[in-house]
Structure formats: C-alpha cells, structure tokens
Structure 1
C-alpha cells in the first residue's frame, strides 16, 4: 500500500493513524489535507479532518513534497482566517494597535507550530502605520517558500488578523533573514538583464508568474527606461510581466 486516505477528528490524528497503517514515518510521506476539519460550537458544525498520505520513494520527491505541503497548509490557514474574518462578529470595543500587533504575533506563532517550527523568534519595528515583523528560525527556508510564496501568504494572514483587532488601519510587513531586500535586488538586476535582452533581440520578453508585489518592483526598476515598456498579462495567481521594446 503506497497511499491512504484517512479520516479522524483532527488533522494530526488522521496523519498519525495513516502513518501507523502504512508503517512509515512522517519523513517518508507527502501529506495532502483534503479537509482541515472544524471543531464546531456546542457540538454543532463539527467536521472531521481528511488527509491523503502518499509514501515517497526518492529524496527529491520528499523535498518537493515538503515544500508543497507547507504551501498548502498556509493556503488552508489563509482561507480559514478569511472565512473567520467574514463570519465572526466584530468586537464591541476595538483593541489598541499594540494589542492588535500582539494578537498578530501570537497567530504567526500558531501557524509556525502547524508547520513544525518551534524556534520562531519575532522582532518588531514600528514606523507609523507600518509594523515590520522580522521572523527568525533555523527553518527560515520553510517560512519563505518557493519564490517567497509562503512568506507572502503569511503576510496576507497577518494583515487580516491585525486589522481585525486594531483601532485604526495598520500595515503588516513580514521578512525572514532580509529576504525581501535580497529578493528586490535580485529582481532589479533580472529586470535590467531582461530589458537589455528585449532590446538586443527586438522581441518581447515574458517573465514567469509573480505576485503583484514582485511585478511592481520590476515595473518601478524599469520605469526610467524609454526604450522599453512593461505590462502585466493574465490573472492571479498566474499573472506575469512582459517587457516589450519600443520600435
């Protein structure tokens, strides 16, 4: 048996039972959360968790599966927060921004534990309505994800949570190991190379799909050039940027 779909009251219970049935450890499988489960209230609305556990054979498969598993977990958490934000009643009295930041940091820690990150340290810096939260962990790569996908999702989550509890609008900015700064520099250098390529070949150059934040970095980096134009094509999450020479 190489794959099993398991149902249990919670996700972790379902994973544990599935691993026992397969006779393998967590490091040897990929886990897809089919249904995250819901505790309900006073016995109403309870939903069991459903997971699909697949035994992996190759080391590269294990690494790829781990990255995808983290992305899926964060995406599931993001959907949960969005739904809760819509369904929950607004607090009668808004908390202070200070309390809102603490709620946000607490929630990030909950997510980190869901990702099996137990050494997370959050450093805080405030600049007016901007709240910069710097995350530090030995598992920094998991917090960043492929092309910053996990970090972007965590930032969206943090924004939702913070403004649910704040008494005025605040903007949450997350970073891990100065990833944002390094990524911006990398994108600006890539933008110049691709713009030069477009001029050299006389043809438009297309980038891989990127977040709106990263597309904006490239747009800004090339905004002073008069020999090319940039524009975005498609719909998120597959929206991508194009550089086209002006003839």
Structure 2
C-alpha cells in the first residue's frame, strides 16, 4: 500500500503535489486531512496544510501477480526461510521502511541555533524528547527571556517556524513542541488562575469579559479550565492572530 504525507501552503496544493508524486488520479486514493493549514500574519505565523494520501488497493490479476513476485523475492533472502508467511514478510517490509526523522530533527535544531546566534545567544542547549509523532525540544540559555518574548509570542513563533522546517525534511508528519526553561507549564498555571479570576468577575458583574489575543493552544487551556463551570460560557471571537476569548455569565 502506497501512502504519502504531504505538506503545502494549502490543502488542495498538498493533495495535488501528493497525487503527482504517487502518479495517480484523485479517484484512486483516499485522503485524510491532518492539518487544514491557515494563513499567518504577514506569513510569520502561518501553518501549512498536511494531508495523508493513500493509494487504494485494486483487486486485479496484475496486482496479485506483482504482489506474489515481491513476496517470492523477499522469501529468497537469507533472513527469511521458506516457511515465512505472507504476513511475516509484509511486517518485515514495513519495519525496513519505518520513517527516520533524524535529519528533520537535526535541521530543526540547526535552524534554532542559527536564530539564537542572530539574537546574540551563544550558550543555547537543546534537549530532545520523542513521543510518537511529537518531538519535544527543550531550549536552555542564560538569555531565555529573548527566546520566550512577551507572553510567549517569540516562543510560539519559533515553534510554528520550526514545524515548517521539520516537515520539509521529514519522511512522515511530525509535530514540534518547543519549551524554554519549563515556561509552558508555568504559563498554563498562570492562564488557569486567570481563567478562574475572570470567570468570577463575569459572574459578579454580569458583564462579558474579553481577554487579550492568544494562540489557539492558550485559548484551549482556558476553555478546558472552565469547562466544568455551569455559571459561565466561553467562546472565541475575531481572526488570527488577533483572535481572543470571551467569558460570559449565564443568567
């Protein structure tokens, strides 16, 4: 089964590029949209569209002959004996074709180091953790504040740009998550506390409370923090990057 994960500025572009690479038409594939993609602010905070395109298996004699030929050739290799089953052969093939994203991660680290040098940061240390398709890069420096920026704006921008760099070199779709000095955890705690205070204020005054513009991930933190409260509701207003959250009392 042929499958390709393609990244492009828009969903349609990603699909068309994938079809061209696979040399098939649209009716011969199934398409899964991993990320819709979105336009950024002057292109700075844009997110690419990501699709998974899988070639549908066609049941015809020619395909069957080709599959049998491939299996026979693999079975003839020394690593397998003549008792190997078709499923065992397929598992062996899948293992040998497992995606290796070492280059993508290395290129992403190099990109971050280059940006750091532009900010006069010479002591940047990047620690890496992998969990499936998630790649966590922990940045450490004496000048951590420069990498975080006001309310994490610089860190969020670096994360989005790192995502683009990583998937340009990756063999499969991966998600980059950046953190500096455990900032993400501290920011989440601050947002959860802010959410409770503003919710109480909305109930006390009877007036809707508009928060400052935040990224979608930070708005989600506040939504989740208040999800169990029955006396208020939360919703987002506006367009990125100026989309903000409103907390309103339910009368």
TM-score (norm 2): 0.61
In the other structure, the counterpart of 1:182 is 186
Q: What are the residue-to-residue correspondences of 1:89-238 with 2, within 5 Å?
A: 96-238=100-242
1:76 positional shift: 8.8
Distance 1:96 1:105, change over 3 A: same
Distance 1:138 1:76, change over 3 A: farther
**Secondary structure of 2:223's aligned partner:** helix
1:133 positional shift: 0.3
CA distance in structure 2 between the aligned counterparts of 1:244 and 1:129, rounded to whole angstroms: 37
Q: Quick check: 1:130–1:173 contact (8 Å CA) kept in 2?
A: yes
Which sections of structure 1, spanning at least 5 residues, go unmatched?
Answer: 1-74, 84-94
Q: Quick check: 2:163–2:176 contact (8 Å CA) kept in 1?
A: yes
CA distance in structure 2 between the aligned counterparts of 1:128 and 1:143, rounded to whole angstroms: 26
Query: Which has more radius of gyration?
Result: 2
Superposition CA RMSD, Å: 2.1
Distance 1:76 1:202, change over 3 A: closer
CA distance in structure 2 between the aligned counterparts of 1:238 and 1:136, rounded to whole angstroms: 29
Matched positions, count: 161
For residues 156-179 of structure 1, the C-alpha deviation after alignment (integer angstroms, 9 at most, x for no partner) is 011001111010111100000000
Which consecutive segments of 4 or more residues in structure 1 shift more than 6 A?
A: none
Which sections of structure 2, spanning at least 5 residues, go unmatched?
Answer: 1-40, 49-98
Distance 1:132 1:82, change over 3 A: closer
TM-score (norm 1): 0.62
